[in-house]
Structure 1
Amino acid sequence: MSVDWELLLSRLADELTTKGKLSSPRWQTAFRATPRHVFVPEYFQQDSKTGDWNKIVVDHPEAFDMVYSNVALVTDVDDGRGVSSSSMPGLMTRMLELLDVHDGLNVLEIGTGTGYNTALLCARLGDQYVSSIDVDYVDAAQRRLASLGYLPHLWTGDGIDGIPDRGPFDRIISTVAVSHIPPAWFHQLADGGAILTDIKVNPAAGNLVLLRKRGDISEGRFDAGRACFMDMRHPDQPDPPPAADRAGGTPVRSMTNLSAVAWEQPVPWFLTCLALGTPIDVGYLLDDDYRPVAARLSARDGSWAEIDTTDAHPHAVTQAGPTRLWDAVERTTQIWNAHDRPAWDRLGLTVTADEQRVWLDSPDGPALGHLGT
Structure 2
Amino acid sequence: MPHQNNIYLDNNATTRIDDRVLDVMLPYLSDSYANASSSHLAGLTIQEAVENARWETANLIGAKEEEIIFTSGATESINLVIKGLANESHKHIITVTTEHKAVLETCRYMEETGFNLTYLPVAADGILDPEILAEAITDNTLLVIIMNVNNETGVIQDLQAISKIVQAKNALLLCDSTQAVGKIPINVKDLGVDFLPLSAHKFHGPKGVGALYLSAKAKIKITPQIHGGGQQRKLRSGTLNVPGIIGLGKSCEIAGREMEANTEKISALRNQLEEGLLKIEGSFVNGSLLNRIYNTTNICFPGVNSERLIMALQNISVSNGSSCSSVISEPSHVLKALGLSDENALSSIRFSLSKFTTVEEIEETISRIHSLIKELKS
Shared fold (TM-score greater than 0.5)?
no
Higher helix share: 2
More relative contact order in 1 or in 2 (CA 8 Å, sep 6+)? 2
Higher strand share: 1
